[in-house]
Amino acid sequence: MAKPTLEMTIERVRMDLPDTKTLRLTWPDGYDPQFKTGQFITLHWPEATDYKRAYSLCSCALDRGYFDVTVKREGKMGTRIVDWARVGDKLWVLPPAGKFLPVYEPDTHLVCIAGGSGVTPFRAFARESTLRGLTTRITILYSVRHPGEIIFQDEFRQLEAANPQFRLLVTCTRLAQEQPWEGRRGRIDPGWIGAQVEDLAKTVFYACGSQGLVDAAEEMVVRHLGASKAQMKTEKWW
């Protein structure tokens, strides 16, 4: 049976970057869903019932009473949300779905490859793991054009401080040599991914973002590093 669409109110908005906004959608009274960290919800505006778009939850399954999604100003829906969504607005929400789920095994290492806004579900992965005090290792390899595009930077650093099993590694792809940056420069490549892997058999790889980034990540992980397809989980957004 199809799950019902629910009306939710935007309780909070936060501009994370000039083109990226996080919305907090409050659950209606009596709603207490079972869902999994890493899933997405589908949104539409009240008057545009046919125009629905998916957004990964950046809140995790332990966060109750609301859904957080982080949206980039891109395309029709992304632009409308970032430029126009206000506290008090109503959005219609199809409940969480999807199979892009963290494998929280104690001796497993999750290597999470993201480009731009594709980092949002990994915030949820790291959040649940830290809140639960899990020993699962999580490493995010995050590609942005320049440091000003890093979403959740402060929060990721706080999660690192709270959770020794979690690390965020950033690479900047469009930074002029003279611009200061202590981190890595250049695109994600097999050498960088491989350098994070201690035991391939106990590593699960994730990639989220554009089709180009996700396909490239899969190619690097499966063809260059020799992981099996079952070890690679992907979420393509466009």
Ligand X SMILES: Cc1cc2nc3c(=O)[nH]c(=O)nc-3n(C[C@H](O)[C@H](O)[C@H](O)COP(=O)(O)OP(=O)(O)OC[C@H]3O[C@@H](n4cnc5c(N)ncnc54)[C@H](O)[C@@H]3O)c2cc1C
Contact residues: ligand X, CB under 6 A: 40, 53-56, 69-72, 74-78, 117, 120, 235, 237-238
- Report the nearest approach of ligand X to the CB of residue 83 (Å): 12
What contacts 24+ positions apart, CB below 8 Å, involve 25-29? Answer: 25/66, 25/67, 25/68, 25/69, 25/91, 25/93, 26/65, 26/66, 27/64, 27/65, 27/66, 27/67
Of residues 109 and 123, the one with the C-beta less far from ligand X: 123
CA atoms of 22 and 47, how far apart (whole Å): 22
**Closest chain position to ligand X (CB):** 75
- Rounded least distance, CB 149 to ligand X, Å: 11
Tokens linked to 224: 């260059």
Per-residue DSSP letters for 192-236?
Answer: HHHHH-S-GGGEEEEEEESHHHHHHHHIIIIIIS---GGGEEEEE
CB of 77 to ligand X, least distance (A): 3
Among residues 69 and 204, whose Cβ is nearest to ligand X? 69
Query: What is the C-alpha to C-alpha distance for residues 18 and 220, in angstroms, rounded to an integer?
Result: 32
Comparing CA positions, the residue from 167, 145, 141 lying closest to residue 156 is: 167
Q: What is the nearest approach in angstroms of ligand X to the Cβ of residue 159?
A: 18
How near is the Cβ of 117 to ligand X at its closest, in Å?
A: 4
Which is nearer to ligand X, 122 or 166 (by Cβ)? 122
- Specify the residue, 24 or 72, whose C-beta has the smaller distance to ligand X: 72
Cβ at position 74, least distance to ligand X in Å = 3
Judge whether 82 and 21 are in contact, CB under 8 Å.
yes
Q: Which is nearer to ligand X, 59 or 129 (CB)?
A: 59
Of residues 20 and 203, the one with the C-beta less far from ligand X: 20
CA 158 – CA 91 distance, rounded (Å): 31
